[in-house]
Amino acid sequence: AQSVTQPDIHITVSEGASLELRCNYSYGATPYLFWYVQSPGQGLQLLLKYFSGDTLVQGIKGFEAEFKRSQSSFNLRKPSVHWSDAAEYFCAVGAVYNQGGKLIFGQGTELSVKP
């Protein structure tokens, strides 16, 4: 079955500390992978995406993610967290070969930032 797992429901980090949000996927086809961020009451903003090529992907707001095929993972990282990064983060996977363009979302990880 196709699925995305974000093991951490809630993470709290101190401002300035590093961050890693975990994402594991189970997908039969070659995946496209995405990280989105959602602020309260808002839609989702695309942080970064992986389609092919370099497995380390750079995104907006200083985020990066690394695709590890052997581990079926696509973890999101940021070296120094800012208070404005507090939000809900969603990992998503889709098909390379355009299975209707659907995305499967993980359950989300809520990030809190301590001053």
Stretch that binds another protein, among 12-20, 36-44, 59-67, 69-77 (CB under 8 A): 36-44
Which residues in 15-68 belong to E strands, given as ranges? 19-21, 24-26, 31-38, 44-50, 56-58, 64-68
Instruction: Kindly determine how many residues on this chain lie close enough to bind another protein according to the rule CB under 8 A.
Output: 25
Q: Which DSSP state fits 30?
A: P
**Cα–Cα dist 86/64, whole Å:** 16
41 binds another protein (CB under 8 A): yes
Q: Are 1 and 26 in contact (CB under 8 A)?
A: yes
53 binds another protein (CB under 8 A): no
34 binds another protein (CB under 8 A): yes
**Residues in the site for another protein, rule: CB under 8 A?**
32, 34, 36, 41-46, 49, 51, 90, 94-96, 98, 100-103, 105-108, 110
